[in-house]
Amino acid sequence: MRKIQFFDTTLRDGEQTPGVNFNTKEKVQIALQLEKWGIDTIEAGFPIASPGDFEAVSAIAKACQKMTVAGLARCQKKDIDAAYEALKEAKYPQIHVFLATSPVHMQYKLKMTPNEVLASIKEHVTYAKSKFEKVQFSPEDATRTEKDFLLKAVQTAIDAGATIINIPDTVGYTNPTEYGAIFKFLIENIQSDTEITFSSHCHDDLGMATANALAAIENGANRVEGTVNGIGERAGNTALEEVAVALHIRQNYYQATSQIELSETKRTSDLIAQLSGIKVPKNKAIIGGNAFSHESGIHQDGVLKNPETYEIITPQLVGVKTNALPLGKLSGRHAFTNKLEELGYHFDEAERNLLFKKFKVLADKKKQVTDQDIQALIADKQTREADLYQLSAIQLQYVSNGYQAAVVSITTPEQEIKTSSAIGDGSIQAIYNAIDDVFEQKPILINYEIQALTSGEDAQAEVRVTLTNPQTATQINGIGVDFDVLKASAKAYVHASSSMKERG
């Protein structure tokens, strides 16, 4: 039976989701959980893109001992050199080189002729091969590339040393029949003395990313690229958890398997949702909150008699726990450490000790500390560590004509406390106006969400905001957690404002 490789690009393509901005520590946490989940290759980032990306790729290269760690590079020697430097300490390094091949990209973006594109592929794949044993080539916008030219581009890359060929549906244009036919055509017509791995990479603009990936597998692809929860720019990418479970449930049909540890699926999904700020829709396949719910009386009756009447996937298969035990103020360090590992987090001893102290403070305020509380505690710690600016204090008072006034104090990177006051129609508007004064910027608030992490009067509030920079149109997410809703709201806004200030 064929074994399908899983290539995760959550930290590269997934981070292109508007508002998502993982810091290096978060990226390492995610990488280690992906390794635990069974991912074969992780695309850790685009090293040439920024010093932060380079740092993150290097950190992941050092941290991961089982997965292949890949870096993205354009067909430019400086990109390939940057990837080499970032990945030189990886146990299993790989480079992913790409160049567009569709007529519209060649004419308007690259301003290159087809022959110039082929020459560039040959030159830069050859150069990449001189530095990396594993070289992957992607003809960007492959599904809108003329079939014969696509074959020429792929053959050129193989002749230059590429052993992995990825076929990107860059704009989510294709359908399963067309996409499968592309793989069949290429596999039947390429010439190579070495084994070539063919990989799918699909976007979900027409809602067919998972179906297209499975069609590629049916037609000979032995690697699938995607992201956890399907996050990514525009409509997102192939959701890897969907492909993994589909291969398991329909193994007899696809005659293929993978090394994905399905029981780690929910844990992996939750980690990405928490750190990215992108909530999983309740009706999301495999890991949504309603994935195992039945409202219809007929369905409920059938499930009670035999779950197989309406459930093809059990909650246990993907790691959904129905009997997770909460922690409390009497829980010790060992129980807390076990809970961190159970949730997919990996910290050194100093970080665990700091988190345990925060947990004890939290446990004194709550009867039961749930998994959601622990995840929020960690997210709050990591976002506050990454922020250059920290919320110090807020004060509120009512003023005349129905307005409210806020006084906000924020600690700057130079450890200076800046204080500003402002008024607004309500408490939150007043707080946000005061924060804007401190940061000397005026972003546009395009989303504000609040939810209780757990039930009960002692629940913590989690606030998520999305800000847009009016000059650059860049979107930034922020998250804040506190027992006080207004303080959680302020934390979220400071988090997003700090990231926006840092980006410029």
Q: Give helix 371-386 / helix 333-342 axis angle, nearest 10°.
A: 80
pLDDT on residue 68: 99
Q: What local confidence, expressed as pLDDT, does residue 457 receive?
A: 73
> What value does the CA radius of gyration of the chain take, rounded to a whole number of Å?
24
Axis crossing angle, helix 24-37 with helix 371-386, rounded to the nearest 10: 140
Tell me the C-alpha distance between 186 and 155, whole Å: 9
Q: What is the pLDDT of residue 308?
A: 61
Residue 124 identity (one-letter amino acid):
H
Cβ–Cβ under 8 Å, residues 127 and 81: no
Residue 13 has what pLDDT? 97
Cα–Cα dist 473/81, whole Å: 31
Q: Compute φ and ψ for 71, nearest 5 degrees.
A: -125, 145
Could you tell me if 358 and 327 are in contact, meaning their C-beta atoms sit under 8 angstroms apart?
A: no
d(CA 255, CA 290): 29
CB 183 within 8 A of CB 189: no
Percent of the chain with pLDDT over 70: 94
Structure tokens at 7: 């290539």
Stretch (H or E) spanning 72? strand 68-74
Distance CA 50, CA 376 (A): 29
Encode burial over 332-354: b for 16+ CB neighbours within 10 A, e otherwise.
eeeebbebbeebbbbbeeebbee
| Three-state secondary-structure class, residue 64 | coil
Beta strands in 317-460 (DSSP E): 390-398, 404-411, 417-424, 444-452
317 vs 264: CA distance, rounded Å: 9
* Number of helical (H) and strand (E) elements in the chain, helices listed first: 17, 16
- Going by the annotation, the residues of the binding site are 13, 201, 203, 237
> Which residues, including other chains, have CB under 8 Å from residue 30's CB and lie 6 or more apart?
10, 11, 22, 271, 272, 275
Binding residues for Mn(2+): 13, 201, 203, 237
Q: Is 461 helix (H, G, I), strand (E, B) or coil?
A: strand
- What's the confidence (pLDDT) of residue 400? 77
| Mean pLDDT along residues 151-169 | 99
Q: 60-80, pLDDT tens digit by residue?
A: 999 999 999 999 999 999 999
- Crossing angle of the two packed helices 24-37 and 51-63, in degrees rounded to 10: 40
Please tell me the distance from the alpha carbon of residue 91 to that of residue 462, in angstroms, as a whole number.
39
Give pLDDT tens digits for 166-210.
999 999 999 999 999 999 999 999 999 999 999 999 999 999 999
Q: For residue 149, which amino acid is it?
A: F
Task: Note the Cα 286 to chain centre separation in Å.
Answer: 17
Distance CA 486, CA 463 (A): 9
57-61, 137-141, 325-329, 461-465: lowest mean pLDDT where? 325-329
Query: How long a stretch of residues is the chain?
Result: 504
Cβ atoms 24, 51 nearer than 8 A: no
What's the pLDDT at 345? 80
For the stretch 244-274, pLDDT in tens is 999 999 999 999 999 999 999 999 999 999 8
pLDDT for position 386: 58
Q: What is the pLDDT of residue 212?
A: 99
In whole angstroms, give the CA distance from residue 30 to residue 8: 11
Q: In terms of C-beta density within 10 A (0-12 exposed, 13-18 middle, 19 or more buried), how is residue 329 classed?
A: middle
The mean pLDDT of 120-140, rounded to a whole number, is: 99
Return phi, psi of residue 221, to 5°: -65, 140
Q: For 117, how many CA atoms within 13 A lie in the half-sphere containing its CB? A: 25
For residue 81, give both structure tokens.
């050199």
Q: Look up residue 279 and give its DSSP letter.
A: P
Q: Average the pLDDT over 86-110 and give the result.
A: 98
Q: Who contacts 301 (Cβ-Cβ below 8 Å, separation ≥6)?
A: none
Contact at 8 Å (CB) between 38 and 7?
Answer: no
What is the average pLDDT score of the chain?
Answer: 91
For 367-419, write each residue's pLDDT tens digit.
Answer: 788 887 888 788 776 656 656 789 999 999 988 787 999 999 999 988 999 99
Q: Which of 455, 259, 438, 263 is nearest to 342 (CA)?
A: 263
pLDDT tens-place string over residues 10-36: 999 999 998 898 889 889 999 999 999
**In the predicted model, what is the mean pLDDT of residues 40-45?**
99
Q: Which residue has the tokens 């500003």?
A: 420
**448 near 19, Cβ under 8 Å?**
no
Closest CA to 375 of 266, 287, 476, 227: 266
d(CA 183, CA 189): 10
Split at pLDDT 50, 70, 90, the class of 346 is: confident
Whole-number Å distance between alpha carbons of 171 and 208: 12
pLDDT at 374: 86
- The sign of the CA dihedral 249, 254, 255, 260 is negative
**Region of poorest pLDDT, from 83-87, 295-299, 362-366:** 295-299
Give the span between the Cα atoms of 161 and 177, in whole angstroms.
30
Which candidate, 110, 80, 112, places its Cα nearest to that of 96? 80
